[in-house]
Amino acid sequence: MIGAGGHGQVVADILLRSRESGGPAEVVGFLDDDRALDGRTIMGLPVLGTIARVSEVDHDGVIAAIGDNRVRARVFAAMRERGERIVTAVHPAAVVAPDVRLGDGVMVCAGVVVNTGTTVADDVILNTGSTIDHHATIGPHAHVAPGAHLGGGVRVGEGALIGVGAAVIPDRRIGDWSIVGAGAAVVEDVPPHATAVGVPARVVRPHPQGT
């Protein structure tokens, strides 16, 4: 587990519950760059040191369990560059249609529903109780926050964040590295690198590319 913070613990729970349901993953422990956590035990699992120690830990795979999309994307890229096997975590209480395509390192939390025809790219978080309707596309490193709902055919760009309780009507596009605020109702496309809030959602500020 790369990341021992709040989201890392959620993902650890996914893997532990999956193991109880007959899944193959056994969690060895956490790696985290917060040195204050080094040597601690969290959820019965040890914090084994910083991320740089990954090569020293006996393991078969890793998952970048970090909530911040940009940080997670960097860690994911570094692990892939090292040739690490990237694990996908699906909670046994999630409902994922058989034809859904999940990329490497995807995290599907409890209560999530992903309907038929959907494609979820690498390193995506589908957080607690979110729903993804049919034939949606979720780009790499995106995060659909707890209780958010995407209609059919929605396209979410790379690194985008769909906030807690937000809703996106069918066939809308959410641009790369954009942010949809908590509780927003998206009825029009959101451009890349923009923040949209409100009901209906309106772009309140573009933010510079790469920030």
Residues 6+ apart with CB under 8 A from 71: none
Asked whether the whole model's pTM tops 0.85, one would answer yes
- Measured CA to CA, the distance from residue 166 to residue 181 in angstroms comes to 7
CATH number of the domain at 6-81, please? 3.40.50.20
Bridge partners for 77 per DSSP: none
- Going across the sheet that includes 89-90, the strands are 89-90, 107-108, 125-126, 143-144, 161-162, 179-180, 194-197, 202-206
- Measured CA to CA, the distance from residue 164 to residue 169 in angstroms comes to 15
- Integer Rg of the chain from CA: 17
According to CATH, the superfamily of the domain at 89-203 is: Hexapeptide repeat proteins (2.160.10.10)
DSSP summary character for residue 35: G
**Domain ranges within the chain, ordered by starting residue:** 6-81, 89-203
Using the structure block, give the residue that is written with the tokens 């970090």.
Answer: 66
Model pLDDT, residue 86? 96
- pLDDT tens, residue order, the chain (211 aa): 999 999 999 999 999 999 888 877 789 999 999 999 988 999 999 999 999 999 999 999 999 999 999 999 999 999 999 999 999 999 999 999 999 999 999 999 999 999 999 999 999 999 999 999 999 999 999 999 999 999 999 999 999 999 999 999 999 999 999 999 999 999 999 999 999 999 999 999 776 554 4
Query: 173-200: b or e for each residue (b if 16 or more CB lie within 10 Å)?
Result: bbbbbbbbbebbbbeebbebbbbbbeee
